[in-house]
Amino acid sequence: MTKIDLNSDLGESFGRYNLGKDKEIIQLVTSVNIACGFHASDPDVMAKTVALAEEAGVGIGAHPGYPDLQGFGRRNMLLQPAEVEHLITYQVGALQAFTSSKKLHHVKPHGALYNMAAKDYELSLAICHAIKSIDPDLPIYALAGSKTVQAAETVGIRCVQEVFGDRNYLPDGNLVPRSEANAVITDPAEVAAHVLEMVKNQAVTAIDGSTVPLQADSICVHGDNAAALAIVANLRETLQQNKIKLQAF
């Protein structure tokens, strides 16, 4: 039986501002990526989200991003490798401290940091070195086929190759930028069909109609997608109907 991890980016509320349906989505996924305070979240939200995830028994991952609350971590920043290592260490360490075991399931960079690293080997090396210094057994979630996958192999940490159910792809295997109208998929049925193609064929159809090979270890659905709950619920049901077992990596 085919097995796949289903993850979602959560814990992105801040103070009085609530984002997403974390409590409901956590019940439907197998792992979560929790914001660490730089692009979203705050200590209270981090503590609450970790507690919900532990209660549900899902894999808890840190979701470190650029220090960009106003831009939700989706604006590119140019930092030196040492700066990137330190911001990863700071955020991962903060979230790890909220867990009862003081251990995490994985680390997944957020937003612009994730997408820039996917194309930038040196940036990816900085991220991977930081993760290894925290815990050599801690895996990184990375865009399938990206430079981050290569860097993880070089540094010697495990890598979970990730695909996106609610995002369209470019012919080079990168995600369509959010600045473009067709970047995000919001129809639950379309997301499910998109994911089935990637899981069954280990490939995705890019926006130009070309086929892009990829390795699908984990599927991500963004928690801030307006239709996130409906998407995850329908996706979970569709995968199970197709004899695909959901299991944390």
End-to-end CA distance of the chain: 15
**pLDDT in the model for residue 24:** 95
**pLDDT in the model for residue 224:** 75
Question: Helix, strand, or coil here: 26?
Answer: helix
**pLDDT in the model for residue 228:** 86
Tokens standing for residue 111? 């937003």
Helix boundaries (H) for 57-104: 81-98
Question: Any bridge partners for residue 6, and if so which?
Answer: 219
Task: Judge contact between 163 and 216, C-beta under 8 A.
Answer: yes
Tokens standing for residue 244? 């695909």
pTM of the model: 0.95
Interatomic CA distance for residues 138 and 133, integer angstroms: 10
Cβ atoms < 10 Å from Cβ of 175: 17
**pLDDT in the model for residue 190:** 96
Domains of the chain: residue spans and CATH: 2-246 (3.20.20.370)
Q: Looking up tokens 């612009």, which residue turns up?
A: 112
**pLDDT in the model for residue 249:** 86
194-237, pLDDT tens digit by residue?
Answer: 999 999 999 999 999 999 999 999 999 887 777 889 999 999 99
**pLDDT in the model for residue 208:** 96
Task: Judge contact between 5 and 217, C-beta under 8 A.
Answer: yes
Kindly give the parts of the chain with pLDDT less than 70.
Answer: none
Helix boundaries (H) for the chain: 22-26, 43-56, 81-98, 111-119, 121-134, 147-155, 188-201, 228-241
Q: Looking up tokens 């067709």, which residue turns up?
A: 182
Residues listed for the chain: 249
Question: Helix, strand, or coil here: 108?
Answer: coil
